[in-house]
Amino acid sequence: MHEASILLIEDDPAVAQSLREGLQHEGHSVVWRPSGGEGIAYAREHGPLLVILDVRLPDGSGFDVCRQMRRLGLHMPILMLTVQSTEVDKVLGLEMGADDYVTKPFGLRELLSRIRALLRRAYGELSSAEADVLYAGDLRIEAERGQVWRGRQPLSLTPTELRLLAYLERHPRQALSREQILDAVWDYTAEVESERIVNVHIRRLREKVELDPSRPSQILTVPGIGYRLNA
């Protein structure tokens, strides 16, 4: 992995300094911004490869910052830091557009593992041995360029959503369990909690690729198993 440009949005200077030192020791280039507004401005101007975003910020919630970044068309992976361990907070972050989360307190090793997985699936998951252009119904997936099109209309997908759609496309009409999807897309060992990540991202993906998300015709639920692509 090449040296990564990571934007850290964290209001606590001591926590930010500790994280910067730890990440820089592992070869990452880290820029720190103490507020959501400053973080958004930096992300828009410089386009970091990854954002580490704290939920509690002096100028608002990290959930709102995440949502605003997505609305501005910023597609880099977002890893949220939260002190809340409730499922509601974790799911809310994912629904706002985050790709993953880590609950405080956490170890540097865990954080590094999540960062590596996010960077790998965002920028290194589509090898040259795989098809450059994939098709799912009326969707055209340009894997190498990281773009999805419906006709001439580009769809705004995050790297995680793109990888999820590409994985489903490579297994058309096959019922895939949440465990299989987690292993392929998130590099996770399946747990009840982590399997809910799949549900949230499937819902987000349907909102972007289905003509009627309330009655999906492409990404179908397979009761008792998981999901399949109706290609």
Q: Is the model's pTM score more than 0.75?
A: no
Two tokens at 45?
Answer: 């101007």
pLDDT score for 144: 66
Say if residue 107 is in the same domain as residue 138. Answer: no
CA nearest to 26, candidates 151, 119, 95, 130: 119
pLDDT score for 158: 84
Say if residue 68 is in the same domain as residue 11. Answer: yes
Radius of gyration of the chain (CA): 17
Two tokens at 204?
Answer: 């987000």
Specify the CATH number for the domain of residue 172: 1.10.10.10
pLDDT score for 85: 60
Give tens-digit pLDDT for 35-80. Answer: 999 999 999 999 999 999 999 999 999 999 999 999 998 989 999 9
Say if residue 113 is in the same domain as residue 200. Answer: no
Residue 128 within any structural domain of the chain: no
Domains of the chain: total: 2
pLDDT score for 220: 94
For residue 53, what is the DSSP state?
A: E
Domain containing 223 equals 133-229
Which of 100, 123, 146 represents a domain boundary (last residue)? Answer: 123
Give tens-digit pLDDT for 69-100. Answer: 999 989 899 999 987 666 666 677 788 889 88
The runs of H, that is alpha helices, within the chain are: 13-25, 36-46, 62-71, 87-95, 108-123, 159-169, 178-181, 192-209
Q: How far apart are CA 23 and CA 227, in angstroms?
A: 36
Cα torsion angle, 81, 3, 124, 116, sign: negative
Given a cut of 70, the residues of the chain with pLDDT beneath it are: 1-4, 84-90, 124-132, 143-144, 188-193, 231
